[in-house]
Structure 1
Amino acid sequence: MAAKQTEGVAYLWNLLVAGKVALLADEVGMGKTFQALGVAAWLWKNKPDAKVLVMAPNRHLCGHWRREFEGFIREHIRQADDRVKTEDGMPVATVCECYQLEHLVQSVQNNEGQLYLTTVYALSGLLGPERRAEGPEGAGSIAANCHHRLKQHLGPSGFDLIIVDEAHYLRNVSGGSQRVSAAKALFGNADSRLGVWNLLLTATPSHTRLDDVQNILGYFTQLDRDPALEAMSGAERTRQLLQRYALRRLRLMEGQGGLYGKRHYRHEKAVPASFDGRPDAEMFFALYQKRLVADLGRQKENKSLTYGYLEGFESFGWKPQIDSGADADYQDAVEDRMVEDFSKATDTELLRDLTRRYRDQFHTFPDHPKYGLMIDQCVPKAADGLGTALEDLKHLIFVRRIPSVRELTQRINERYDELLAGMIVNAWGKQADDPAVRHWRHQGWSRDGYAQFHEGVKHSLAEVDAHEEAGQDEGEGEGTQLASRIAELFVVKKGSGGQTDCANVRLRFSKPESVFALFLEPASDYLTGGYSAFYAKAETGRIDYANAAKYVRLHGWDVPGVHDAAARMRGAPRDRLEHPLHSVWSLLVPRLPPALYRKLEGWARDNKAIAENFANYIKAGFLYASPVVVELYAWFVEYRQQTREREVQRAYRGFHDWVSLRVDGSLMLRYFTAALETFDTLCGKIIDHGLDQWDEEWRSLKRLTSPCWYASGDNSEGRQRLILGFNSPFYPNVLVSTSVLQEGVNLHLQCHQIHHYGLAGSPGDNEQRVGRLDRLFGCVNQRLQRSGNAELSIHYPFLQGSVDEDQVASFIERKHQVEEQMDACVQVHFDKQLRISDAQQWRSFLRRPLPISDERLQDPYGAVFTKLGQQ
C-alpha cells in the first residue's frame, strides 16, 4: 500500500499540473489523507513558501489532519531539508486552525501559517441577525469579500493548493442555500479561482445521485464551457469526468495467502428477532400502540408512527417537516446528516414516559425483541465470556434515532452489570439465589443495594491495612442514568454513603500513601524489578510509596526533557523496605509473547519515557475503564477474607503471592497484552498524544467507566474521548452512534463487528459506516494476516415478519444492485421508497466472503501515466 500511495501522489500531481483539479476517490481506508499530504509536501519541496488550505467537515477532522500531518512528516519524509522537514524531525510548515472565514482571512493576512485548516461549516452562519433577511445573496457577498481579501494578500493566484476532505459535502451545487452561495463565492469563478490547484477527496463521489461528480467538480472548474460534455448523457458525462480528473483504486489488504479485497472478507448477516416467547414484550407493545393511537393517531401526518415500535423506533421512511420559509441552510444540514438523527420524533416523550413507568414498576427495562437481540449479540452470556479475545467484545452499532441510542446504551450496560455483579458476588462466596443477592439484583445493582449487601458479609473481613486513610477521589464517571451501576460503585461521591467498599479498595490501589498503590506501578526497570525504598513522613506528613517508586524510575534519566522536578526537590527516598516489593508487572511481563516482551524491553532500554507513558495508560485503563477493576476488587476481597496479617508490607507481599496464582488467564493479563500491542498506533493515529508524553495522566480514560456508551449530536463534548476508548482495548466495548461517527473517523484498531440497527440512508452512507472499521492496518487487517478466513462481520438486525423486515429486504436488494456502480463512482439515484414486491428472497443478496484468487482487482480509474506524459 505504501507503493500504491506513492503512485497516487505522483498521479495526482500530474492531474493537477494538467487540469488544476484532481479528485482522489480511493476506497475508504486507503490513506487519502496521506496522499494529499504527499502532494502538499512535494509542493513545499519545490516551493517552500507555498500556502495550502484544507477544508474538512468539522473541527474533529481538522484535528485529525493536524495529527496526520505531524506524523507524516516525522515518520515518512526521509530527508531533513529545511523545506519540508527540519533537522530535529519536525514539519517546517506551521499549522493554523481557523473555524470562521473571518478568522481565516485574518490569519492569512498575519502570515500565521503555511497549512491552514478550516471546516465546511465555516461557510454557514455568515449572516448575523441583522442581515438574515439577505439570505443566500448576503452570504455570497460576505464570502466574496473574504475571497477578495485573501487574494489581495496571497496574490492573484491565491492559495497554491486547496484540499477539500469529504468533498461529497459540496454535492448540492444547485441547492440555493447560504452555504452553496458562500462556497461558490469563496472558491471563485473560472477567471479568479481561490486556489491554483484544487484536490478533492471522497470515497463516495457518486454519493446519492449520478450528477454528484459533476456538481463537486463544478465548484472548481468550468464544465459548462465544454460542449463535448454537454452533448453526453449523464452516465457518459460522469465517466468522462472521472477519466479526466479522478483517481479511484480499490483497497487491498495483505493477509495470509495473498491480497484481499473487501469481497473476500466482508460478511453480511441477517439477524432476525421475534415476539415468540416474549408475552411481556407484546404487552408493552400493545400499551404503546394504544397510547400512540389515542395521543397521536388523530393527526393524519402521524399515521406512520403506528409502525414505530415494530421498527425499533427507526422509521426508515420518516422525514422531518421543513417549514417552507425556513433558512435553506437547514435543508442542507438535513441532507448532510442523511436524515439520520431523529432526536425529537413526536412519539419520543410518549416512549420515555412508558419506559420510566415500566422501570419503576418492574425494576428493569421493557423487553424489545430487537433490543434484546442486540444485547445478546454484543454482551457475553456469562462472566467467563469476558475472558475471550478482547477484540471480540468490541461492537459498533449505528442507529438513526437518538432515543434508540440511549435505550441501547442503558440496556447493554444493564446486561454487563449482571456479569460484573456476578464477579463481586462470587468473591464474597455467595450464590446467585442467595436472598441478599436477589435483593441487590431487585434494586438494579444500585449503590444502596450494595451497601445493604455489604453490611451482611463484611463481618468476615480482616482489614489488611485498616490504618490507612483512603481519602476522597475525583469521581469522574459518566454519572447519568445510562451508566453502568457496577462502575458507579467504584466512584467516590459527595455526601453520606459516597464511599462504598468498592471505591475504598480502588483508592488503596491509586493513593500514593497506600502500599497497595505499588501494585499497579510499573516495575522499577519496566520489566520485573522491585522497589526497596519509600518516603516516610514526607512533607505531607504521610508515608508515600508510589511517588518514591516514581523517583526511583525517573531519577538519573539522561533523556533530554524528561525529568520530574517535584521528585528531585524531594530527593531520593531514604527509608528502606525490609524486603523489596514488586508490582504486578513482575507477574505480567514474563507472560508476554516474545515480540511484545522485546518491544517493552526496547522501551525500557532506549526510551523510558514511552515505557512510563504506557504505565500511566495501563493504570488508568485498569482502575477506571475496564472490568479489571472488578477483578482486582474480587481478588482483594477474597484475599482479605483469608488473611490475618495486619502489617501492611507483609500483607502486600501476601497479596502479590495470592495474585501470582491467579494471573494466568486473567483479565488483567489479557488487557495488558492487548494494550501493549496497539499503544504506539493509538498514540500516533488516534489522539493528540506523543508516544513519549510520559507526564500525561490519561484523564480521558478515567471518564470511560461504562462498558457501553453512545455518540450523537446530543453528546458532542466527549466524542474524541469515545474514539480513544473504542480504539483501545478498554471501554467502551460497545459504541452506539448516530451519523456523527459515520464519516472521517478511525474506529478500526480493535473492532471487526458492525451492526446496522437503523438502516443507512443510501448505499454510499452504508459504505461510509462500514469504512470506519474496514481500514488498512486495523483489526480486520491483523486478523487476515493471522488467519486467511477472517471476516468483517456486518449485521442487519430486524423484527421478523414485520415492516422492519420489509425495509431491510428492500434496502439490501437495491444496495446489491448499485454496489458495482458505486465502486465505479457512477451510481444512479438511490430510491429510498419501500417496495414490498422487491423483498422476496432478499437474503440471497447479502454479501458473503468470496474465495481468494490470483486474479487482480481492476481499479475503476487507476493511475495511467502514459496519458499525461512523464511530468
Structure 2
Amino acid sequence: MSSPTWGGLDPQRVSHWINFERNDTAWHYAPDNRESMAAKQTEGVAYLWNLLAANGVALLADEVGMGKTFQALGVAALLWKVKPDARVLVMAPGRDICRHWRREFETFVREHYREADHSVKSSVDGGPVPSVQECYRLDNLVNAVERGLGHLYLTTIHSLSGLVEKKDKSDGAGAAKVAAGIIHQRLKSALGESGFDLIIVDEAHYLRNLNGGSQRVSAARALFGAEGSRLGAKNLLLTATPSHSRLIDVQSILSYFTEIDPEGELAVLSGSARTKALLEKFALRRLRLMEGAGGLYSKRHYRHEKAIPAGFEGRPNAEMFFALYQKRLVADLRKQKENKSLMYGYLEGFESMGHLPALAQSSDGDEVTEIVDKAAEDFSTASDTELLRELTGDYRKQFGTFPDHPKYGALIDQCVPEGLYGQDKMLHDHKHLIFVRRIPSVRELTQRVNERYDELLAGIIVQAWGIPLNDPRVDVWRKTGWSRASYDQLISGLDHAFVMDEAAEVVGDDEDSEEDSGQLASRIAELFVVKRELGGQTDCVNSRLRFSKSESVFSLFLEPASDYQEAGYGGYYTQIDAKRADYANAAKFARFQYWGNQAQLKLAIGDRVQPDGKFDQPMFSVWSLLVPRLPDLLRQKLRRWAESDKAVAENFGNYLKAGFLHASPVIVELYGWFVEFRRGRRDRNVHSSYRGFYQWVSGRIEGSLMLRYFIAALETFDQLCGKIIDHGLNRWDQEWRSLKGLTSPGLYASGENSNSRQRLILGFNSPFYPNVLVSTSVLQEGVNLHMQCHQIHHYGLAGSPGDNEQRVGRLDRLFGCVNQRLKHAGNTDLSIHYPFLQGSVDEDQVASFIARKHQVEKQMDACVQANFDKQMRLDNTQEWKEFLQKPVGRGQTLINDPYGASFAQDALSKNYEPYFESILGVLPLTEN
C-alpha cells in the first residue's frame, strides 16, 4: 500500500476509533463539551495529525502530565489503521522510558482503541497487532529494521551518545557523525526513500543544543538527515518544556527535522516573536486540567510551594561551623579570578559518608552512557566540597562528632511521621519524593531517614515484649545501632516460648532478599533478613519464615482466603520430602481447583493430588478478618475478581504477601503480634496454636497497619499493573520479587544504583516501601511517580525552572494521587517544599531561584522563557517568600491554552484517498 494522503481530521472522527474516557465506553467527542481531559486528548490526536499533514513536523508541548504518550500513540494507531505495514520509530531518553512506552502502547490498545479491527487491535486477545521491537542500541535498531521484525521500534536518545568506542574519542563528534550517517543510509535502504512513516521523539528538549559539538548533537543531525533526505516522513516531537532554558531552544529542536525558513517571513523576526511564530505553526500546547470535586482544576488551584526554614536555635557549635564556612567560602571565591560569582549548588549539605563508590555498570555496559548522560546536572563534588571536607574533619577532631546540619533535621521532620498509627493520615501521606543535586546527598539523607524510622519500628518491637521505651536496655540497643547481637541480648532473658521450636524446621537461605546491606539500610528491617555474615538467624527472621515457608502452618495466615474473600481451608499435605507437612501449596491447590482452567492448574500445582490431611475444623487466613472491614466499593472490586477473574485475585494475593513480609512495617507489626501471643504459652499442638493466634489477632485488626495497607494496595493494584510494571493484571504466577528487595523505608536513586531504578519506581508507586525516595536527576524526567505521592522536596535546587517543572511533573499527573485527592476534596494540595538554612548562603540561593522562577513562570507556560543561567542574583529577593505559589480559588483564574487546537472548516483538507475516507469514516467536518 502506498503512503496515505494524510488530509485533515477532526475530533469526531478520532473519537469514532479512540475513546480516552476510560470509565465510559459510550463516550464520544462533543464540540460543545471540550473541557474534559478526554476531549482535550481527542482534539490533540486530530490536531497533531493535521500539523503533520501540513508541515511534516509537529511539536506536542502539552504541560507535564497530560498524556502526551497516549496522544502520540493515537496518531500512530490511526496511521496503522490506514497503513497496516507502517513503520514507526519512538526515540525516548532511556531504556526505562522505552519500556514505559511499550506498556502504554499495550494499555492504549486494550483500553482506549475501540474495535478489534485486525489492523491495530487483535480480535483474539484484545492486544496490539503491530509488533514491538525494543532496540536500545542503534546497531540493534538497524538489524531489526533490515530483518523487518517490527512495526513499532523503540530506541533511546542516549544511544546517540554511545556510538563511538573509547579508542575513537579523540574526535568523538566527527566519528559519531560518520557512524550515524552510515546508520541513516542503512535504514533508508531498508525502509525505502521516505524512511520511517512516523518518528516520535519523547522528551525532545534533549535535542535543544543544535550546535553543541557533542557526540549526541553530531549523531542526531546525521541520523535524522538533512532536508530532502529526512529519516522520517513525519516527525512528532514531545516535550513539556520546549523552551527549557533559552528562547532558541524551540528553533533548535525543530531544526533537526525541518528547515526553519532561513530567508522567509521568520527571518525578520527575532527573540520571543520568532519563537511564538514557530510555536503557532508547529506546536500544540495546552495547560493541564484535572477533574475533581465540583469541576476542573488547574495547577494554580492546588500547587502549594512552602518555605521550610532550619535554624541554629540551641546549636551554637553548628552556628559557629557554618559562620566559619561562609567566611572561608567568600575568601576562596575572591581568589578565583575566573569565577567570582556564586552558582546554585553551594551548601546543599556536607556528607559523613566519605567518598562515593565507583559508578555502577550494567552487564552489557550500555547503561553507563545513559547514566552519565542523564546526570549531567548532578555532581559528586562542587567547588566547596574540599572546603566542607576540611572543616568537617577539623570539627570532628575537636568535638568527636560531625557538625549538626539543621537543614537535614528540618527535612527529616517533614518526611518521617511521629508515629505509624496516626489515623488522621492516609498511607500516601507517608510518601515523600526528595530531589538533590549533589550525588553524595542521596546517601546521607537515605541513612538519616532510615535511622528515624528505626526509632518507630523498634518501638513496636519493644512494646510487644512489654519493655518500656525508657528502659536502659533499650538505650543500650539503640547505641549499638539496633544491632542483631544487642537484640539477641535484649530478649535473651525474656519468655518467648512457643508450642514447639519450629525455627529449626523452617530456617534456610533467605533467597527472597535482594537489597544490599550496609549503613544506609534500616537496621530494624535487617533483623528480618538472613545475614550469615552478621550471625545468621534472629528471632525476627525465624518468625518471618514461619509466615512465609510452606512447611509451617502459620504460612496459611497470609494466604488469600480459599474463595479470595472469607472462606477457610479444609486440608493440607501431611508430608513433603518424606518428613515435613506442606500447608501453603495445599492452600494454593484448594484455590486453583475451582478455576475451571485445567491448564493453569497443571502449571500451578504440577502433579500434586488432593491434600491427604484434613483439619478437624476449617483454618482461616487473615483475609477472613480483613475483607469484612473493607469499604463497600473495594469489597465489590475483590468480589468481582473472585467470581469472574480469579487470576487477578491470585496476583493480588502474591503482591500483598510480598509487601507485607518484606516491604512495609506490617512485618514488624506481625512480629509484634506473634511475640505478644506466644509469651507464656506452652501449647504443643501447632494446629490449635494457629487457631489461637488467629483468634488473638482478630481483636487487633481494626486500626492496624495490616488493614490500612490491604485497603491501599487494593485501591491502586489495577492501576499499578497497567501503568508501572511489565506484566498483566492477571499474571497469577507473579512472585513480585522486586518488592522483596525493598526492605527499607528510605531508598535512593542515582547513577551508582542504576540497575534498581525500575524496582524503586514500582515500590514508590505502591503503598509499600520506599516511603521516602531520594533522587538525583535520574528520576527527573519521563517516569511516573504519582500514584501514591503528593509531596515533593527540592533539597537541592533544580538547574532551571524547566528542570524544576519536570521534577514536579513526576507527581502532577492525571489519574495519580493528587488527582484522586482532588476528587475526594477539592481543596487538597500538591505540596512543594523548599528547605533552607536561615541566614546563610543556602537561603540566598533559594531566594534567588524562587524570585527568578516567579519572573519566568508565565513565559514558561507560553514556551517563550528567556535565558536562565545558574548564577545567583540577590536583587529583589528580600521578600522572596511572597513569590511562592499558593492555591487560589477556582473562580479566580482563567485558564487559556497558549497554543490550542483549532478545527476551522477552511483549515481541514478533504483530499483523502478513497481507502482513507472509507476506513476512518465519513463523519462530517464541522467547525468548533
Cα distance in 1 for partners of 2:531, 2:389 equals 27
Cα offset, 1:312, TM superposition: 2.5
Give the stretch that moved more between structures: 727-736 or 179-188. 179-188
1:84 alignment partner in structure 2: 120
Cα distance in 2 for partners of 1:730, 1:115 equals 34
Cα offset, 1:282, TM superposition: 3.9
Cα offset, 1:202, TM superposition: 0.2
Say yes or no: does 1:214 pair with 2:251. Answer: yes
2:813 alignment partner in structure 1: 775
1:387, 1:667 within 8 Å by CA — same for their partners in 2? no
Say yes or no: does 1:685 pair with 2:723. Answer: yes
1:463 alignment partner in structure 2: 498
Aligned mate of 2:901, from 863, 866, 869: 863
1:338, 1:761 within 8 Å by CA — same for their partners in 2? no
Say yes or no: does 1:765 pair with 2:800. Answer: no
1:617 alignment partner in structure 2: 655
Per-residue Cα deviation, 1:68-89 (whole angstroms, up to 9, x for no partner): 1111111111111111111121
Letter in 2 for 1:204: T
2:762 alignment partner in structure 1: 724
Per-residue Cα deviation, 1:504-529 (whole angstroms, up to 9, x for no partner): 10011001011110000000000000
1:16, 1:197 within 8 Å by CA — same for their partners in 2? yes
1:143, 1:183 within 8 Å by CA — same for their partners in 2? yes
Aligned mate of 1:820, from 848, 858, 861: 858
Cα distance in 1 for partners of 2:589, 2:397 equals 53
Letter in 1 for 2:313: D
Note the 1:797-812 alignment, pairs <5 A: 797-812=835-850
1:490 alignment partner in structure 2: 528
Per-residue Cα deviation, 1:519-560 (whole angstroms, up to 9, x for no partner): 000000000000110001233521111111011011242248
Cα offset, 1:227, TM superposition: 1.6
2:80 alignment partner in structure 1: 44
Per-residue Cα deviation, 1:124-158 (whole angstroms, up to 9, x for no partner): 23223453334323221221111111111111100
1:392 alignment partner in structure 2: 429
1:554 alignment partner in structure 2: 592
Cα offset, 1:289, TM superposition: 8.2
Cα offset, 1:116, TM superposition: 0.6
Aligned mate of 1:168, from 205, 209, 213: 205
Cα distance in 1 for partners of 2:764, 2:798 equals 21
Letter in 1 for 2:249: D
Cα distance in 2 for partners of 1:400, 1:37 equals 34
2:103 alignment partner in structure 1: 67
Aligned mate of 2:696, from 658, 662, 676: 658
Cα offset, 1:305, TM superposition: 10
1:327 alignment partner in structure 2: none
1:572 alignment partner in structure 2: 610
Per-residue Cα deviation, 1:99-125 (whole angstroms, up to 9, x for no partner): 222221111100011111111111123
Cα offset, 1:570, TM superposition: 1.8
**Structure 1 residue matching 2:601: 3-state secondary structure:** coil
2:224, 2:231 within 8 Å by CA — same for their partners in 1? yes
Note the 1:107-126 alignment, pairs <5 A: 107-126=144-163
Note the 1:99-248 alignment, pairs <5 A: 99-248=136-285
Cα distance in 2 for partners of 1:357, 1:511 equals 52
Gaps of 5+ in 2: 1-36, 352-368, 911-928
Cα distance in 1 for partners of 2:558, 2:329 equals 54
Structure 2 CA distance for partners of 1:828 and 1:560, relative to 1, 3 Å: farther
Letter in 2 for 1:82: H
Structure 2 CA distance for partners of 1:680 and 1:167, relative to 1, 3 Å: same
Structure 2 CA distance for partners of 1:467 and 1:506, relative to 1, 3 Å: closer
Cα distance in 2 for partners of 1:159, 1:334 equals 28
Cα distance in 2 for partners of 1:665, 1:477 equals 30
Aligned residues: 852
Cα offset, 1:387, TM superposition: 7.8
Say yes or no: does 1:96 pair with 2:98. Answer: no
Cα distance in 1 for partners of 2:858, 2:428 equals 31
Cα distance in 2 for partners of 1:292, 1:802 equals 11
Give the stretch that moved more between structures: 338-347 or 153-162. 338-347
Give the stretch that moved more between structures: 552-561 or 144-153. 552-561
Structure 2 CA distance for partners of 1:80 and 1:365, relative to 1, 3 Å: farther
Aligned mate of 1:476, from 514, 523, 542: 514
Cα distance in 2 for partners of 1:536, 1:312 equals 59
Cα offset, 1:566, TM superposition: 5.9
Aligned mate of 1:28, from 60, 64, 68: 64
Cα offset, 1:863, TM superposition: 0.5
Cα distance in 1 for partners of 2:372, 2:697 equals 56
Cα distance in 1 for partners of 2:55, 2:97 equals 28
1:618, 1:675 within 8 Å by CA — same for their partners in 2? yes
Cα offset, 1:350, TM superposition: 8.0
**TM-score, normalised to structure 1's length?**
0.93
Cα distance in 1 for partners of 2:423, 2:593 equals 39
Per-residue Cα deviation, 1:386-427 (whole angstroms, up to 9, x for no partner): 883101000000000111111100001000000100110111
Identical pairs, percent: 68
2:14 alignment partner in structure 1: none
Per-residue Cα deviation, 1:799-854 (whole angstroms, up to 9, x for no partner): 01111111111111111111101001111111432122221111111110010028
Structure 2 CA distance for partners of 1:568 and 1:192, relative to 1, 3 Å: closer
2:344, 2:799 within 8 Å by CA — same for their partners in 1? no
**Structure 2 residue matching 1:223: 3-state secondary structure:** coil
Note the 1:391-790 alignment, pairs <5 A: 391-457=428-494, 460-467=495-502, 469-472=505-508, 473-474=510-511, 475-495=513-533, 497-559=535-597, 562-565=600-603, 567-790=605-828
Per-residue Cα deviation, 1:217-258 (whole angstroms, up to 9, x for no partner): 001111144421011122111111111110011100011111
1:84, 1:93 within 8 Å by CA — same for their partners in 2? yes
Structure 2 CA distance for partners of 1:241 and 1:559, relative to 1, 3 Å: farther
For the aligned residue pairs, the C-alpha RMSD in angstroms reads: 2.7
Give the stretch that moved more between structures: 854-863 or 567-576. 854-863
Letter in 1 for 2:547: F
Letter in 2 for 1:26: D
Per-residue Cα deviation, 1:738-788 (whole angstroms, up to 9, x for no partner): 011000000000000000001111111110000000000100000000001
Give the stretch that moved more between structures: 831-840 or 789-798. 831-840
Give the stretch that moved more between structures: 613-622 or 633-642. 633-642
Letter in 2 for 1:182: A
Cα offset, 1:278, TM superposition: 2.0
Structure 2 CA distance for partners of 1:496 and 1:128, relative to 1, 3 Å: closer
Per-residue Cα deviation, 1:691-719 (whole angstroms, up to 9, x for no partner): 01111110000000000000011111110
Per-residue Cα deviation, 1:280-300 (whole angstroms, up to 9, x for no partner): 534665897899999999988
Per-residue Cα deviation, 1:151-173 (whole angstroms, up to 9, x for no partner): 11111100000000000000000
Note the 1:327-342 alignment, pairs <5 A: 337=374, 339-342=376-379
Letter in 2 for 1:74: R
2:346, 2:841 within 8 Å by CA — same for their partners in 1? no
Structure 2 CA distance for partners of 1:175 and 1:292, relative to 1, 3 Å: closer
Give the stretch that moved more between structures: 490-499 or 666-675. 490-499
Structure 2 CA distance for partners of 1:423 and 1:296, relative to 1, 3 Å: farther
Cα distance in 2 for partners of 1:99, 1:692 equals 28
Cα distance in 1 for partners of 2:342, 2:868 equals 24
Cα offset, 1:626, TM superposition: 0.3
2:360 alignment partner in structure 1: none
Cα offset, 1:370, TM superposition: 0.3
Gaps of 5+ in 1: 315-331
Cα offset, 1:687, TM superposition: 0.9
Cα distance in 2 for partners of 1:779, 1:281 equals 38
Structure 2 CA distance for partners of 1:356 and 1:68, relative to 1, 3 Å: farther
Structure 2 CA distance for partners of 1:740 and 1:10, relative to 1, 3 Å: same
